[in-house]
Amino acid sequence: MTDRVLLLGAQLGAGPCLPLRLQDRVAQTLDALRAQHGALGFETIEVETVFDGDTPHEVRPQAPNRAKSLIANLMIAANGVTARFLDARGFPSLRRVVKSPERWDRIRVLAEQLGDQLPPAADSVALAEFLARRKEADPATFPDLSTSVIRLLGRGEYVVDPPGVEPPGHFGLAVRDYSHSTAPNRRFPDLVTQRLVKASLAGHPSPYSLAELEAIATQCTKQEDAANKVERQVRKSAAAMVVQSRIGEQFNGITTGASNKGTWVRVTTPPIEGKLLGSHPGLDVGDRLRVRLAGVDIDRGFIDFRSA
C-alpha cells in the first residue's frame, strides 16, 4: 500500500490538472484498501443551520457526498506519505492518533443487541465488518449506530513519534502512519509538520527537540478540545434559537453520552442534541428513549430534555 500511496502523492503534484474522474478513482481505490485493513466506515449526520438574514430558522442534516469522500481519502493518503517521509529521513513527527477504543465492551454490547458478535479484544477489522453489515441491513438507523460507536471510541490526540519507533497508529482510519500536514494555514500541528518537512528537504536538523514536540502535542490536543467545545456551543446556541418555540414537544432520541457529568441525548428530527435532566442510572450510549424538550438557554447553548 505504501508504494501506491507514494505514487499517488507524485501524481497529485499536478494539483487541479489531474482529471477529477481520475482523482475519484484513486480516492475510491484508497478507500477500498483501507477498508481491507479495517478502516471504520461511519455515516454520521452533519448538521447545518439555515439563516433568514441574521436569524437562524432551521436546523437540518447535511447529506454525505462523493466530493467529501474524495477529499478525505486523498488527505489521509497525503498525511500518511508525510509521516513516512519524516521517519525515513530520521526526523520525529507529530501524529494524530485514536488508540484502542476506550469502551470496547460497550461496543460489543451494542453489537449483541443487534444480533451480532464482536471479539473480546478490540479489533478494527471485525468492527468494520460489523458496521458494513449493519449499514446494509438497516441504513435508516445506521447514522445513529455510527454516532454511538464514535463516542465510544474516544477522542483523538496528538502524540510524538520518534524516528525508527513503531508508530502508534490510528484505530478508526486503520493506518499506522498518520500526521496532520494538509492545512498549515489553519491548524498549528500542520504548520509544525511543514516546518519539519522543510528542514529535512533543506538538509537542516529538526527545528524541534523531542521535548519541545511533546509539549506542542499536549498543547495542541488541549487547544483542539477547547476549540471543539466553542464550536459545539455555537451550533447549540443556533439550534436552541430554532427550537425554543417547540418546548414541551416529544421526540424519539438516542443516548450519546453517559457519565458522572450527566446524560446526553440526540434526536433526529430536528437534528439536535441536549442534556437529559434528572438521574438515569443504567442508561448508556446507544440506548433509545422517548424525550420531551424541557427548555433552552440560547446564550449558553443549552438544550435540555426530560424523559417523556
Q: What is the DSSP letter of 120?
A: S
- Rounded to whole angstroms, the Cα distance separating 1 from 143 reads 29
Q: Which residue has the higher pLDDT, 155 or 12?
A: 155
- Rounded to whole angstroms, the Cα distance separating 74 from 11 reads 11
Angstrom distances, CA of residue 29 to CA of 9, 70, 74: 14, 10, 10
Judged by average pLDDT, the poorest of 54-68, 174-188, 206-220 is 54-68
In this prediction, residue 275 has a pLDDT band, given cuts at 50, 70 and 90, of: very high
The candidate with the shortest Cα–Cα distance to 85, out of 178, 185, 192, 191, is 178
Q: Where are the alpha helices (DSSP H) in 182-304?
A: 188-201, 210-243
- Rounded to whole angstroms, the Cα distance separating 143 from 61 reads 11
Share of the chain above pLDDT 70, in %: 94
The candidate with the shortest Cα–Cα distance to 104, out of 130, 135, 138, 143, is 130
In this prediction, residue 261 has a pLDDT band, given cuts at 50, 70 and 90, of: confident
Q: Is the pLDDT of residue 80 over 70?
A: yes
pLDDT for residue 252: 93
The topology (CATH level 3) of 242-307 is OB fold (Dihydrolipoamide Acetyltransferase, E2P) (2.40.50)
pLDDT for residue 106: 92
Highest mean pLDDT among 120-124, 209-213, 230-234: 209-213
What does the pLDDT average to over 95-115? 89
Burial code (b: 16+ CB inside 10 Å, e: under 16) for 144-158 equals bbbbbbbbbbeebbb
Residues 235, 47 contacting (CB under 8 angstroms):
yes
pLDDT for residue 295: 95
Q: Which residue has the higher pLDDT, 61 or 94?
A: 94
What does the pLDDT average to over 50-69? 81
pLDDT for residue 18: 62
- Rounded to whole angstroms, the Cα distance separating 183 from 17 reads 20
pLDDT for residue 13: 44
Cα 198 to chain centroid, rounded: 28
Q: Is the pLDDT of residue 200 over 90?
A: yes
Segment 126-172, tens digit of pLDDT: 999 999 999 999 888 888 888 889 888 888 899 999 988 887 778 87
- Secondary structure percentages of the chain, helix, strand, coil, to 5: 45, 20, 35
Domain ranges for the chain, please list them.
Answer: 2-38+63-231, 242-307
pLDDT for residue 290: 94
Q: Is the pLDDT of residue 247 over 90?
A: yes
Average predicted confidence (pLDDT) for the chain: 87
The single residue listed with the C-alpha cell 437562524 is 56
- Rounded to whole angstroms, the Cα distance separating 204 from 199 reads 5
CA pseudo-torsion sign 55, 225, 168, 204: positive
